Amino acid sequence: MTLSVEERAMVLVEALPYIKRFHGQIVVVKVGGKAMEQAKDETLQDVVLLRYVGMQPVLVHGGGPEITAMSERLGLVPAFKNGLRVTDEKTMEVVKMVLTGKVSPDIVASINRLGGQAVGMSGEDGPCIIAEPLGADMGFVGRVVQVNQEPITALLGRGYVPVIASIGLGYDGHAYNINADTVAAEMAVALGAAKLILLTDVPGVRGVDGNVVAVLARDDARRRMETGEVTGGMIPKLEACLRSLDRVPQAHIIDGRVPHSLLLELFTEAGIGTMVTL
């Protein structure tokens, strides 16, 4: 479908109130996984545009599929518990190698190629993410204890887009593998972000009728998890959204496979996916 000149102008006019509202505000976006495989350039184009219209995007990424592929190439058998990767010492080496040696540089290079300025880092840098072990049976899987925002705000102040790998530094000096949704939520809280946006490979949170729930209140989200209406990989995403609401007004779960999903969510009245709010 080709838009007329007038229709293109109306698209920009519709976006104007949202651009004004979020100008100068921090938006934390979790990217990666299958959602990025299908619309990587479009997603990162959105990030570059957000920066140029005055918003301050911060990207957090994991790299589950890439870590699994590299582990198998090296003869390591991936193991999971409650949806989290059990991370022994050898697997932690793979995690660091993949996230900081491949995924993060690829995202940074793409943003720079598309006209933005990005800097890759992990939670060990600064350090900006302090972690502790999640449990003895999980190996080097961690939970976020503290976020030091100074290294991140310093990059934002110089016009860069921080691209942060979901690795934390423990008080014991070890690196810890942390769920990227969790890192994004803690980062959003620490930075006082205007929004947390989790890109995923599904349209959003579905109700019992199979339809996507456009707006989900905090208490309703908790109820849906407790009753088993929400299951599987959507649970940690909803938990991350609920955690962010301690300081962040709105959190979003959207389908990153849709081209320009960030712009559709941020700059249109209808939006896409599920918005979780108080």
CATH number of the domain encompassing residue 190: 3.40.1160.10
Confidence (pLDDT) at 3:
67
Give the DSSP H/E element, type plus range, for residue 241: helix 234-244
Strand partners, 121: 164
Average pLDDT in the chain? 91
Check pLDDT > 90 for residue 119.
yes
Going from the C-alpha of 10 to that of each of 6, 16, 137, 210, the distances in angstroms are: 6, 10, 55, 33
17 lies in some domain: no
DSSP sequence for 85-98: E-B-HHHHHHHHHH
Evaluate whether residue 5 is within a structural domain: no
Residue 2 lies in a domain: no
**Does residue 199 lie in a domain region?**
yes
Residue 278 lies in a domain: no
- Res. 32: pLDDT tops 80: no
Residue 272 lies in a domain: no
pLDDT category, 234, cuts 50, 70, 90? confident
- Note whether 11 and 264 are within 8 A (CB): no
The whole-angstrom distance between residue 244's C-alpha and the CA centroid of its chain comes to 12
Q: Beta-carbon neighbour count of residue 192 at 10 Å? A: 11
The total number of structural domains in the chain stands at 1
pLDDT digits (tens, 9 = 90+) for 168-201: 999 999 999 999 999 999 999 999 999 999 998 8
Write down the pLDDT at residue 232. 77
Residue 15 lies in a domain: no
Least confident of 61-70, 98-107, 264-273: 264-273
Which residues contact residue 169 at a Cβ distance below 8 angstroms, ignoring those fewer than 6 apart?
Answer: 123, 124, 127, 129, 130, 131, 175, 176
Q: How confident is the model at residue 1 (pLDDT cuts 50, 70, 90)?
A: low
pLDDT per residue as tens digits for the range 46-100? 999 999 999 999 999 998 889 999 999 999 988 888 778 889 999 999 999 999 9
Domain of residue 234 covers 22-267
Tell me whether residue 9 is in a domain. Answer: no
